[in-house]
Amino acid sequence: MKQMIVEYLAAYQRGGTAEMATDIDSAVPLDTPAEFRKVLAASPYLVQYAPELQRYLEEYPKGAPAGAEDFFYWTKDKFGPKPT
């Protein structure tokens, strides 16, 4: 499991949003890249106050704003009936 997550992260770091996994936990698979784009599109304040960040989130890993740093971390938390 851990190796799979490391490989997923490496793919995301290379290919950005297009490499996000499809969520298959529900009856209808969720197109994670499309849902992420919807979240960005529904965030007018991000475009208004941090357009460079908005572009970076859309185009990751290209176009990092000056001084931006990336970091990723893993956490396993329990809330609800199953670990998340």
The structural domains of the chain, with segments of one domain joined by +, span: 2-59
**Predicted confidence pLDDT, tens digits, the chain (84 residues):** 789 889 989 999 999 998 987 777 777 888 889 999 999 999 999 989 999 999 999 999 998 999 999 999 988 887 777 665
Are the C-beta atoms of 22 and 31 separated by less than 8 Å? yes
CA dihedral 19, 8, 80, 41 (to 10 degrees): -20
pLDDT the model gives residue 82: 67
Report d(CA 77, CA 34) in Å as an integer: 26
Percent composition of the chain: helix, strand, coil (DSSP 3-state, to 5)? 50, 5, 45
Token pair recorded at residue 5 = 């997550």
Report d(CA 10, CA 70) in Å as an integer: 13
